[in-house]
Amino acid sequence: MLSSGGAAKTAGTGNERCWLCARPLGRRIEWHHPVPKSRGGREVVPLHPICHRAIHANFSNAELARNGDATALCAHPAVAKFLHWIEDKPADFHARTESRKDRR
């Protein structure tokens, strides 16, 4: 099920991987626009909900429009730290995502 910005209830074939962390996807998938729709983006990629929240907690739509590819996002120190932390968690793992506002 491919929806624009929503969540799918099943992962489909079971072979899909998260665009950000590359771990296998679980039961819930969220679809992310690497270039935000508000900036003309049309492509969507599958993410774990926690990975989707991590992206939006660290980057504005303007930042994503300028440099929204996975390699650039993974190089950001906060995202790299998140990816190291999440790498051994199960696919449907969920935890509170700290936003930039929470860190002030």
The one-digit pLDDT tens for each residue of the chain (104 residues) are 344 445 444 445 567 999 999 999 999 999 999 999 999 999 999 999 999 999 999 999 999 999 889 999 999 999 999 999 999 999 999 888 776 555 54
Please give the C-alpha separations between residue 70 and each of 52, 58, 99, 103, 104, in angstroms, as whole numbers: 12, 13, 19, 23, 26
| Cβ-contact 49, 28 below 8 angstroms | yes
1 in any annotated domain: no
The total number of structural domains in the chain stands at: 1
- Domain carrying residue 71: 7-103
* pLDDT value at residue 9: 42
* pLDDT value at residue 94: 87
Q: Cβ of 40: how many Cβ atoms within 10 Å? A: 9
Please give the C-alpha separations between residue 17 and each of 4, 20, 23, 45, in angstroms, as whole numbers: 18, 9, 5, 10
